[in-house]
Amino acid sequence: MQVLVRDNNVDQALRVLKKKMQREGLFREMKERRAYEKPSERRVREKAQAISRQRKATRKKMQREGVLPGPKRTAAAR
């Protein structure tokens, strides 16, 4: 992963790097690897994540089709 530092602005480059790492899931992976995870626990976690992804995809599809109302809008989004 590479980030360019412009005009000696290291703080901005760090923010960009952190955002890229977050998007790639690096922080989540580091947290998972801190301690050993039994294979049975791993299967349970992965299955729960798959179910969550499926529910999210179904919810998004229903919102697009108009069956469910869209996500609530915040004051910043208006």
pLDDT in tens, 39-55: 999 999 999 999 999 99
Q: What is the CA radius of gyration of the chain?
A: 19
The answer to whether 18 and 37 are in contact (CB under 8 A) is no
pLDDT in tens, 1-41: 888 888 999 999 999 999 999 999 999 899 989 999 999 99
45, HSE (Cβ side, Cα atoms, 13 Å): 7
| pLDDT average, residue stretch 70-77 | 76
pLDDT for 77:
64
13 Cβ partners below 8 Å, 6+ apart? Answer: 3, 4, 5, 6
First to last CA, the chain: 35
pLDDT for 67:
87
